[in-house]
Structure 1
Amino acid sequence: MDVERKPLDDTVIIRPFYSTDSEQVLNVYFTGLVSGVDSAGYFAVTRAFLHWAPMYLAYFLSVSGGGTLLLALRTDIQILGLAIVFLSCCFMFFVYYRIRNAFLGYYQDGLRHDMTDISQYYRQDHEKDGYPIRRFWVAEISSMTSESGYEVVGCVALDCSLNRDEPMIGELKRLFVLPTHRKRGIGTKLIQTVIAFAKEQNITSLRLETTNFQPVAREMYTRLGWYHHDTRDSDFEAGDMKMSFVEYLLPL
Protein backbone atom coordinates (compact mmCIF):
# COMPACT_ATOMS: atom_id res chain seq x y z
CA MET A 1 0.00 0.00 0.00
CA ASP A 2 1.38 3.41 -0.93
CA VAL A 3 1.69 6.19 1.59
CA GLU A 4 -0.91 8.80 0.65
CA ARG A 5 -1.12 12.41 1.83
CA LYS A 6 0.14 12.74 5.40
CA PRO A 7 0.01 16.06 7.27
CA LEU A 8 3.44 16.88 8.73
CA ASP A 9 2.29 20.12 10.37
CA ASP A 10 -0.17 22.84 9.38
CA THR A 11 1.39 23.35 5.95
CA VAL A 12 3.64 20.42 4.95
CA ILE A 13 2.34 17.23 3.33
CA ILE A 14 4.30 14.11 2.36
CA ARG A 15 2.70 12.44 -0.68
CA PRO A 16 3.51 10.36 -3.78
CA PHE A 17 5.02 12.11 -6.79
CA TYR A 18 2.69 13.45 -9.49
CA SER A 19 3.82 14.04 -13.07
CA THR A 20 3.01 17.74 -12.64
CA ASP A 21 5.69 17.95 -9.93
CA SER A 22 8.58 17.35 -12.34
CA GLU A 23 9.81 20.91 -12.79
CA GLN A 24 9.68 21.70 -9.08
CA VAL A 25 11.36 18.43 -8.13
CA LEU A 26 14.22 19.14 -10.53
CA ASN A 27 14.64 22.53 -8.85
CA VAL A 28 14.80 20.83 -5.44
CA TYR A 29 17.29 18.29 -6.83
CA PHE A 30 19.55 20.98 -8.35
CA THR A 31 19.44 23.20 -5.28
CA GLY A 32 20.01 20.33 -2.88
CA LEU A 33 22.96 18.92 -4.80
CA VAL A 34 24.69 21.83 -6.51
CA SER A 35 23.95 25.27 -5.13
CA GLY A 36 21.86 25.28 -1.95
CA VAL A 37 23.19 25.92 1.54
CA ASP A 38 24.57 22.66 3.00
CA SER A 39 24.54 21.01 -0.44
CA ALA A 40 27.64 19.07 -1.45
CA GLY A 41 28.48 21.71 -4.05
CA TYR A 42 28.11 24.53 -1.53
CA PHE A 43 30.30 22.68 0.99
CA ALA A 44 33.00 22.11 -1.64
CA VAL A 45 33.08 25.77 -2.68
CA THR A 46 33.12 26.92 0.95
CA ARG A 47 35.88 24.46 1.77
CA ALA A 48 38.06 25.72 -1.08
CA PHE A 49 37.44 29.44 -0.55
CA LEU A 50 37.61 29.53 3.26
CA HIS A 51 39.91 26.68 4.28
CA TRP A 52 42.53 26.27 1.55
CA ALA A 53 45.94 27.97 1.87
CA PRO A 54 46.43 28.73 -1.88
CA MET A 55 43.15 30.65 -1.84
CA TYR A 56 44.41 32.88 0.98
CA LEU A 57 47.51 33.55 -1.11
CA ALA A 58 45.23 34.55 -4.00
CA TYR A 59 43.33 36.90 -1.68
CA PHE A 60 46.58 38.47 -0.50
CA LEU A 61 47.90 38.91 -4.02
CA SER A 62 44.64 40.44 -5.29
CA VAL A 63 44.61 42.97 -2.44
CA SER A 64 48.31 43.73 -2.92
CA GLY A 65 47.88 44.07 -6.66
CA GLY A 66 44.87 46.34 -6.17
CA GLY A 67 46.82 48.54 -3.80
CA THR A 68 49.70 48.72 -6.25
CA LEU A 69 47.34 49.63 -9.07
CA LEU A 70 45.77 52.45 -7.07
CA LEU A 71 48.83 53.87 -5.35
CA ALA A 72 51.73 53.38 -7.75
CA LEU A 73 52.90 56.47 -9.62
CA ARG A 74 54.63 54.67 -12.48
CA THR A 75 52.53 53.21 -15.29
CA ASP A 76 54.57 50.02 -15.54
CA ILE A 77 54.05 49.33 -11.83
CA GLN A 78 50.34 49.98 -12.22
CA ILE A 79 50.22 47.46 -15.08
CA LEU A 80 52.01 44.95 -12.88
CA GLY A 81 49.42 45.49 -10.14
CA LEU A 82 46.60 45.06 -12.66
CA ALA A 83 48.18 41.82 -13.92
CA ILE A 84 48.44 40.46 -10.37
CA VAL A 85 44.79 41.26 -9.69
CA PHE A 86 43.72 39.71 -12.98
CA LEU A 87 45.69 36.49 -12.47
CA SER A 88 44.48 36.13 -8.87
CA CYS A 89 40.87 36.56 -9.95
CA CYS A 90 41.39 34.06 -12.78
CA PHE A 91 42.70 31.51 -10.28
CA MET A 92 39.68 32.00 -7.98
CA PHE A 93 37.27 31.79 -10.90
CA PHE A 94 38.98 28.62 -12.16
CA VAL A 95 38.61 26.95 -8.73
CA TYR A 96 34.94 27.92 -8.54
CA TYR A 97 34.27 26.79 -12.12
CA ARG A 98 36.00 23.43 -11.57
CA ILE A 99 34.00 22.69 -8.43
CA ARG A 100 30.67 23.80 -9.86
CA ASN A 101 31.28 21.90 -13.09
CA ALA A 102 32.00 18.72 -11.12
CA PHE A 103 28.69 18.91 -9.27
CA LEU A 104 26.82 19.83 -12.43
CA GLY A 105 28.21 16.54 -13.74
CA TYR A 106 26.69 14.65 -10.80
CA TYR A 107 23.40 16.45 -11.40
CA GLN A 108 23.43 15.48 -15.08
CA ASP A 109 24.22 11.86 -14.18
CA GLY A 110 20.92 11.80 -12.30
CA LEU A 111 19.13 13.24 -15.32
CA ARG A 112 20.55 10.46 -17.48
CA HIS A 113 19.38 7.85 -14.99
CA ASP A 114 16.04 8.39 -13.23
CA MET A 115 15.41 12.11 -12.89
CA THR A 116 14.60 13.00 -16.50
CA ASP A 117 11.32 11.08 -16.45
CA ILE A 118 10.45 10.37 -12.85
CA SER A 119 6.94 9.16 -13.64
CA GLN A 120 8.27 6.54 -16.06
CA TYR A 121 11.17 5.32 -13.94
CA TYR A 122 9.12 5.04 -10.74
CA ARG A 123 5.86 3.83 -12.28
CA GLN A 124 4.19 1.22 -10.10
CA ASP A 125 2.50 -0.89 -12.77
CA HIS A 126 5.95 -2.05 -13.92
CA GLU A 127 6.19 -4.27 -10.86
CA LYS A 128 3.64 -6.77 -12.15
CA ASP A 129 5.99 -7.34 -15.11
CA GLY A 130 8.88 -8.24 -12.83
CA TYR A 131 10.40 -4.79 -12.38
CA PRO A 132 11.86 -3.98 -8.94
CA ILE A 133 9.99 -1.87 -6.40
CA ARG A 134 10.45 1.85 -7.01
CA ARG A 135 8.69 4.78 -5.36
CA PHE A 136 9.11 8.55 -5.28
CA TRP A 137 7.62 10.97 -2.71
CA VAL A 138 7.58 14.73 -2.35
CA ALA A 139 7.02 17.19 0.48
CA GLU A 140 4.65 19.99 -0.49
CA ILE A 141 3.46 23.21 1.10
CA SER A 142 0.60 25.51 0.11
CA SER A 143 1.66 28.45 -2.06
CA MET A 144 -0.26 31.55 -3.03
CA THR A 145 2.24 32.44 -5.76
CA SER A 146 2.38 29.10 -7.58
CA GLU A 147 -0.06 28.34 -10.40
CA SER A 148 -0.51 24.83 -9.00
CA GLY A 149 -1.39 26.18 -5.56
CA TYR A 150 1.47 24.32 -3.89
CA GLU A 151 5.27 24.24 -3.80
CA VAL A 152 7.44 21.12 -3.66
CA VAL A 153 10.10 21.69 -0.99
CA GLY A 154 11.58 18.20 -0.64
CA CYS A 155 11.77 14.74 -2.20
CA VAL A 156 12.97 11.20 -1.63
CA ALA A 157 12.96 7.89 -3.52
CA LEU A 158 13.13 4.16 -2.87
CA ASP A 159 14.82 2.08 -5.56
CA CYS A 160 15.41 -1.67 -5.37
CA SER A 161 16.77 -1.96 -8.92
CA LEU A 162 20.42 -2.14 -7.85
CA ASN A 163 19.78 -5.33 -5.90
CA ARG A 164 18.04 -7.70 -8.31
CA ASP A 165 19.77 -10.67 -6.68
CA GLU A 166 18.78 -9.40 -3.23
CA PRO A 167 15.19 -8.14 -3.61
CA MET A 168 14.82 -7.58 0.12
CA ILE A 169 17.31 -4.69 0.07
CA GLY A 170 16.24 -1.19 -1.02
CA GLU A 171 18.15 2.01 -1.69
CA LEU A 172 17.03 5.34 -0.28
CA LYS A 173 18.04 8.05 -2.73
CA ARG A 174 17.26 11.57 -4.01
CA LEU A 175 16.70 12.91 -0.49
CA PHE A 176 16.73 16.70 -0.74
CA VAL A 177 15.00 19.56 1.10
CA LEU A 178 15.16 23.20 0.02
CA PRO A 179 17.41 25.23 2.37
CA THR A 180 14.57 27.63 3.18
CA HIS A 181 12.50 24.78 4.63
CA ARG A 182 15.08 22.86 6.62
CA LYS A 183 15.06 22.37 10.39
CA ARG A 184 11.34 21.59 10.26
CA GLY A 185 11.71 17.81 10.36
CA ILE A 186 10.90 17.41 6.65
CA GLY A 187 13.98 15.32 5.87
CA THR A 188 13.26 13.06 8.84
CA LYS A 189 9.65 12.59 7.77
CA LEU A 190 10.66 11.77 4.21
CA ILE A 191 13.03 9.10 5.51
CA GLN A 192 10.36 7.71 7.83
CA THR A 193 7.96 7.52 4.89
CA VAL A 194 10.44 5.37 2.97
CA ILE A 195 11.05 3.15 6.01
CA ALA A 196 7.33 2.62 6.66
CA PHE A 197 6.68 1.67 3.03
CA ALA A 198 9.74 -0.61 2.91
CA LYS A 199 8.49 -2.50 5.94
CA GLU A 200 5.09 -2.96 4.29
CA GLN A 201 6.90 -4.50 1.30
CA ASN A 202 8.89 -6.84 3.59
CA ILE A 203 12.16 -5.17 2.62
CA THR A 204 14.64 -6.23 5.29
CA SER A 205 17.21 -3.44 5.02
CA LEU A 206 17.89 -0.11 3.36
CA ARG A 207 21.10 1.42 2.08
CA LEU A 208 22.02 4.92 1.00
CA GLU A 209 25.09 6.70 -0.28
CA THR A 210 26.14 10.23 0.57
CA THR A 211 29.46 12.07 0.64
CA ASN A 212 31.79 13.48 3.27
CA PHE A 213 30.87 16.87 1.74
CA GLN A 214 27.40 16.57 3.33
CA PRO A 215 28.09 16.56 7.10
CA VAL A 216 24.58 17.76 8.02
CA ALA A 217 22.99 14.85 6.16
CA ARG A 218 25.43 12.38 7.69
CA GLU A 219 24.62 13.61 11.17
CA MET A 220 20.91 13.13 10.47
CA TYR A 221 21.39 9.57 9.21
CA THR A 222 23.41 8.64 12.30
CA ARG A 223 20.81 10.21 14.59
CA LEU A 224 18.05 8.18 12.91
CA GLY A 225 19.85 4.87 13.45
CA TRP A 226 21.70 4.32 10.17
CA TYR A 227 25.21 2.96 10.56
CA HIS A 228 28.31 3.51 8.48
CA HIS A 229 29.10 0.53 6.27
CA ASP A 230 31.72 1.56 3.74
CA THR A 231 33.70 4.52 2.38
CA ARG A 232 35.34 4.81 -1.03
CA ASP A 233 37.41 7.70 -2.30
CA SER A 234 36.70 9.58 -5.49
CA ASP A 235 39.13 11.41 -7.75
CA PHE A 236 37.54 14.79 -6.96
CA GLU A 237 39.17 17.19 -4.53
CA ALA A 238 38.02 20.59 -3.24
CA GLY A 239 40.86 22.57 -1.78
CA ASP A 240 42.89 20.05 0.22
CA MET A 241 39.93 17.72 0.91
CA LYS A 242 39.26 14.65 -1.19
CA MET A 243 35.62 13.72 -1.66
CA SER A 244 34.56 10.26 -0.48
CA PHE A 245 31.35 8.35 -1.05
CA VAL A 246 29.97 7.08 2.25
CA GLU A 247 27.51 4.18 2.45
CA TYR A 248 25.04 3.74 5.30
CA LEU A 249 22.81 0.77 6.11
CA LEU A 250 19.63 0.43 8.16
CA PRO A 251 18.25 -3.00 9.14
CA LEU A 252 14.43 -3.00 9.27
Structure 2
Amino acid sequence: MAKIQIRKYQDDDNEAVKEIFTLGMSEHVPSSFMFLLKQPLSQMVLMCAFCALLTSSKSFLLPILAVTLMLAGMRQFVVYMFNQYIDTCFRKDLKNISDTYMKQKDSCFWVAESDGRVVATVACLPKEEAPGCLELKRMSVLRSHRRMGIAKDLCQTVVDFTRDRGYAAVILYTSVVQTDAQKLYEAMGFQKLREIVAPETVARLINFTLFEYRLEFAMGKK
Protein backbone atom coordinates (compact mmCIF):
# COMPACT_ATOMS: atom_id res chain seq x y z
CA MET A 1 0.00 0.00 0.00
CA ALA A 2 1.32 3.43 -0.97
CA LYS A 3 2.46 5.69 1.84
CA ILE A 4 0.15 8.61 2.56
CA GLN A 5 1.67 11.96 3.46
CA ILE A 6 -0.40 14.78 4.91
CA ARG A 7 1.08 18.21 4.29
CA LYS A 8 0.06 21.83 4.01
CA TYR A 9 -1.38 23.14 0.78
CA GLN A 10 0.91 24.60 -1.86
CA ASP A 11 -0.13 26.72 -4.84
CA ASP A 12 0.81 23.89 -7.23
CA ASP A 13 -1.98 21.82 -5.65
CA ASN A 14 -4.72 24.20 -6.81
CA GLU A 15 -6.03 22.25 -9.81
CA ALA A 16 -5.89 18.90 -8.00
CA VAL A 17 -7.78 20.32 -5.02
CA LYS A 18 -10.52 21.75 -7.22
CA GLU A 19 -10.84 18.47 -9.09
CA ILE A 20 -11.15 16.47 -5.85
CA PHE A 21 -13.75 18.91 -4.54
CA THR A 22 -15.78 18.76 -7.77
CA LEU A 23 -15.70 14.97 -7.92
CA GLY A 24 -16.61 14.66 -4.25
CA MET A 25 -19.60 16.97 -4.52
CA SER A 26 -20.81 15.37 -7.77
CA GLU A 27 -20.89 11.97 -6.06
CA HIS A 28 -23.72 13.23 -3.86
CA VAL A 29 -26.06 13.73 -6.83
CA PRO A 30 -27.53 10.17 -6.87
CA SER A 31 -28.18 10.06 -3.11
CA SER A 32 -29.63 13.58 -3.18
CA PHE A 33 -31.90 12.60 -6.07
CA MET A 34 -33.14 9.57 -4.12
CA PHE A 35 -33.70 11.80 -1.09
CA LEU A 36 -35.77 14.11 -3.29
CA LEU A 37 -37.89 11.22 -4.56
CA LYS A 38 -38.67 10.08 -1.01
CA GLN A 39 -40.17 13.42 -0.05
CA PRO A 40 -44.00 13.55 0.21
CA LEU A 41 -44.18 16.68 -1.97
CA SER A 42 -42.28 15.03 -4.82
CA GLN A 43 -44.35 11.87 -4.60
CA MET A 44 -47.58 13.88 -4.55
CA VAL A 45 -46.59 15.88 -7.65
CA LEU A 46 -45.63 12.75 -9.57
CA MET A 47 -48.76 10.89 -8.54
CA CYS A 48 -51.07 13.80 -9.36
CA ALA A 49 -49.45 14.23 -12.78
CA PHE A 50 -49.75 10.51 -13.51
CA CYS A 51 -53.41 10.31 -12.44
CA ALA A 52 -54.40 13.49 -14.28
CA LEU A 53 -52.83 12.35 -17.54
CA LEU A 54 -54.18 8.82 -17.14
CA THR A 55 -57.70 10.19 -16.64
CA SER A 56 -57.54 12.64 -19.53
CA SER A 57 -55.78 10.40 -22.06
CA LYS A 58 -57.20 7.02 -20.99
CA SER A 59 -53.81 5.54 -21.88
CA PHE A 60 -50.89 4.35 -19.78
CA LEU A 61 -48.28 5.40 -22.33
CA LEU A 62 -48.65 9.17 -22.02
CA PRO A 63 -48.58 9.37 -18.18
CA ILE A 64 -45.64 6.94 -18.04
CA LEU A 65 -43.69 9.01 -20.54
CA ALA A 66 -44.60 12.22 -18.74
CA VAL A 67 -43.51 10.90 -15.34
CA THR A 68 -40.28 9.59 -16.87
CA LEU A 69 -39.56 13.03 -18.28
CA MET A 70 -40.38 14.61 -14.92
CA LEU A 71 -37.97 12.24 -13.16
CA ALA A 72 -35.24 13.09 -15.67
CA GLY A 73 -35.94 16.78 -15.14
CA MET A 74 -35.77 16.40 -11.37
CA ARG A 75 -32.41 14.66 -11.61
CA GLN A 76 -31.05 17.36 -13.89
CA PHE A 77 -32.26 19.94 -11.41
CA VAL A 78 -30.29 18.21 -8.64
CA VAL A 79 -27.21 18.26 -10.90
CA TYR A 80 -27.80 21.96 -11.55
CA MET A 81 -28.05 22.74 -7.83
CA PHE A 82 -24.78 20.96 -7.08
CA ASN A 83 -23.04 22.68 -9.99
CA GLN A 84 -24.27 26.01 -8.66
CA TYR A 85 -22.87 25.20 -5.22
CA ILE A 86 -19.52 24.17 -6.71
CA ASP A 87 -19.33 27.39 -8.73
CA THR A 88 -20.17 29.43 -5.62
CA CYS A 89 -17.33 27.78 -3.68
CA PHE A 90 -14.93 28.48 -6.54
CA ARG A 91 -15.90 32.14 -6.36
CA LYS A 92 -15.48 32.26 -2.58
CA ASP A 93 -12.99 30.36 -0.38
CA LEU A 94 -11.62 28.13 -3.16
CA LYS A 95 -10.97 31.06 -5.49
CA ASN A 96 -7.67 31.74 -3.76
CA ILE A 97 -6.92 29.01 -1.25
CA SER A 98 -3.68 30.57 -0.08
CA ASP A 99 -5.35 33.88 0.75
CA THR A 100 -8.33 32.23 2.43
CA TYR A 101 -6.60 29.56 4.47
CA MET A 102 -2.82 29.91 4.44
CA LYS A 103 -2.37 33.62 5.11
CA GLN A 104 -5.09 34.04 7.73
CA LYS A 105 -4.61 33.59 11.44
CA ASP A 106 -5.68 30.22 12.88
CA SER A 107 -6.68 28.74 9.52
CA CYS A 108 -5.03 26.13 7.33
CA PHE A 109 -5.55 23.83 4.34
CA TRP A 110 -4.02 20.36 4.07
CA VAL A 111 -3.74 17.77 1.34
CA ALA A 112 -3.03 14.05 1.52
CA GLU A 113 -0.51 12.90 -1.04
CA SER A 114 0.07 9.38 -2.36
CA ASP A 115 2.92 8.63 -4.79
CA GLY A 116 3.22 12.32 -5.57
CA ARG A 117 -0.51 12.70 -6.28
CA VAL A 118 -2.95 14.72 -4.19
CA VAL A 119 -5.78 12.36 -3.21
CA ALA A 120 -7.61 14.14 -0.39
CA THR A 121 -8.16 17.53 1.22
CA VAL A 122 -9.34 19.18 4.41
CA ALA A 123 -9.29 22.71 5.81
CA CYS A 124 -10.31 24.76 8.82
CA LEU A 125 -10.80 28.38 9.76
CA PRO A 126 -12.40 30.36 12.62
CA LYS A 127 -16.19 30.22 12.74
CA GLU A 128 -17.56 33.75 13.09
CA GLU A 129 -20.95 32.57 14.34
CA ALA A 130 -19.34 30.31 16.95
CA PRO A 131 -16.62 32.16 18.87
CA GLY A 132 -13.95 29.85 20.25
CA CYS A 133 -14.43 27.29 17.47
CA LEU A 134 -12.63 26.38 14.28
CA GLU A 135 -14.78 25.01 11.47
CA LEU A 136 -13.69 21.89 9.61
CA LYS A 137 -14.30 22.35 5.89
CA ARG A 138 -13.57 20.88 2.46
CA MET A 139 -13.06 17.28 3.60
CA SER A 140 -12.92 15.13 0.47
CA VAL A 141 -11.13 11.92 -0.48
CA LEU A 142 -10.86 10.43 -3.97
CA ARG A 143 -12.97 7.29 -4.30
CA SER A 144 -9.87 5.27 -5.25
CA HIS A 145 -8.26 6.06 -1.88
CA ARG A 146 -11.14 5.55 0.52
CA ARG A 147 -11.27 2.89 3.25
CA MET A 148 -7.61 3.60 3.96
CA GLY A 149 -8.04 5.79 7.03
CA ILE A 150 -7.16 9.00 5.18
CA ALA A 151 -10.33 10.86 6.16
CA LYS A 152 -9.80 9.94 9.82
CA ASP A 153 -6.19 11.15 9.69
CA LEU A 154 -7.20 14.42 8.03
CA CYS A 155 -9.93 14.96 10.61
CA GLN A 156 -7.44 14.30 13.40
CA THR A 157 -5.08 16.83 11.80
CA VAL A 158 -7.76 19.49 12.14
CA VAL A 159 -8.55 18.42 15.71
CA ASP A 160 -4.88 18.64 16.72
CA PHE A 161 -4.45 22.00 14.97
CA THR A 162 -7.52 23.39 16.74
CA ARG A 163 -6.44 22.14 20.16
CA ASP A 164 -2.90 23.45 19.68
CA ARG A 165 -4.27 26.89 18.85
CA GLY A 166 -6.16 26.93 22.15
CA TYR A 167 -9.66 26.80 20.71
CA ALA A 168 -12.46 25.19 22.65
CA ALA A 169 -14.00 23.05 19.91
CA VAL A 170 -14.13 21.95 16.29
CA ILE A 171 -17.43 22.51 14.52
CA LEU A 172 -18.57 21.19 11.14
CA TYR A 173 -21.61 20.79 8.93
CA THR A 174 -22.58 17.81 6.81
CA SER A 175 -25.73 16.96 4.90
CA VAL A 176 -28.39 14.33 5.46
CA VAL A 177 -27.15 12.33 2.45
CA GLN A 178 -23.51 12.13 3.64
CA THR A 179 -23.99 9.09 5.83
CA ASP A 180 -20.37 7.89 5.67
CA ALA A 181 -19.14 11.28 6.87
CA GLN A 182 -21.64 11.22 9.74
CA LYS A 183 -20.35 7.81 10.86
CA LEU A 184 -16.75 9.02 10.74
CA TYR A 185 -17.40 12.13 12.81
CA GLU A 186 -19.46 10.27 15.38
CA ALA A 187 -16.75 7.59 15.68
CA MET A 188 -14.23 10.35 16.42
CA GLY A 189 -16.33 11.76 19.24
CA PHE A 190 -18.22 14.55 17.51
CA GLN A 191 -21.69 15.21 18.89
CA LYS A 192 -24.63 16.14 16.69
CA LEU A 193 -25.95 19.44 18.04
CA ARG A 194 -28.83 20.27 15.73
CA GLU A 195 -30.45 19.81 12.37
CA ILE A 196 -30.76 22.78 10.04
CA VAL A 197 -32.85 22.98 6.90
CA ALA A 198 -30.63 24.41 4.15
CA PRO A 199 -31.54 28.07 3.49
CA GLU A 200 -32.25 27.80 -0.25
CA THR A 201 -35.95 27.88 -1.18
CA VAL A 202 -35.91 24.53 -2.96
CA ALA A 203 -34.00 22.94 -0.07
CA ARG A 204 -36.67 24.15 2.35
CA LEU A 205 -39.43 22.71 0.14
CA ILE A 206 -37.88 19.23 0.14
CA ASN A 207 -36.59 19.44 3.73
CA PHE A 208 -32.92 19.00 2.74
CA THR A 209 -31.23 18.97 6.13
CA LEU A 210 -27.75 19.89 7.33
CA PHE A 211 -26.35 18.45 10.55
CA GLU A 212 -24.15 20.50 12.85
CA TYR A 213 -21.47 18.49 14.69
CA ARG A 214 -19.16 19.68 17.44
CA LEU A 215 -16.15 18.21 19.24
CA GLU A 216 -15.45 19.88 22.57
CA PHE A 217 -12.02 19.94 24.23
CA ALA A 218 -11.48 19.72 27.95
CA MET A 219 -9.42 22.89 27.94
CA GLY A 220 -10.13 25.86 25.68
CA LYS A 221 -8.41 29.20 26.01
CA LYS A 222 -10.45 31.24 23.54
Tell me, yes or no, whether TM beats 0.5.
yes
- Residue in 1 aligned with 2:11? 19
What amino acid is the match of 1:45?
F
Identical positions, percent: 25
List gaps (5 residues or longer) in structure 1: 1-8, 62-79, 127-131, 143-149
What amino acid is the match of 2:112?
A
In the alignment, the residues of structure 2 paired with residue 224 and residue 161 of structure 1 have an alpha-carbon distance, to the nearest angstrom, of: 20
Question: Match for 1:122 among 97, 101, 106?
Answer: 101
Distance 1:95 1:223, change over 3 A: same
| 1:133 and 2:106 aligned | yes
Instruction: Give CA-to-partner distance per residue, 1:174-211, whole Å, 9 cap, x none.
Output: 11111221111111000001111112211121100111
Superposed, 1:75-114 pairs within 5 Å as: 86-114=65-93
- Residue in 2 aligned with 1:243? 208
Distance 1:224 1:19, change over 3 A: same
Larger Rg: 1
Q: 171-180 vs 82-91, which deviates more? A: 82-91
Superposed, 1:33-52 pairs within 5 Å as: 33=25, 35-36=26-27, 39=28, 41-48=29-36
What amino acid is the match of 1:105?
Q
SS in 2 for 1:44: helix
Distance 1:151 1:50, change over 3 A: farther
| 1:151 and 2:117 aligned | yes
Note the C-alpha offset of 1:251. 0.9
Q: Normalising to structure 2: TM-score of the pair?
A: 0.79
List gaps (5 residues or longer) in structure 2: 51-58, 218-222
| 1:29 and 2:21 aligned | yes
Q: What is the number of residues matched between the two proteins?
A: 205
Instruction: Give CA-to-partner distance per residue, 1:151-194, whole Å, 9 cap, x none.
Output: 2111110111525x83x311111111112211111110000011
Contact 1:138 1:154 in 2 (8 A): yes
What amino acid is the match of 1:251?
E
Question: Match for 2:144 among 180, 192, 196?
Answer: 180
Q: Normalising to structure 1: TM-score of the pair?
A: 0.71
Note the C-alpha offset of 1:82. 7.2
SS in 2 for 1:170: strand
What amino acid is the match of 2:79?
R
What amino acid is the match of 1:103?
F
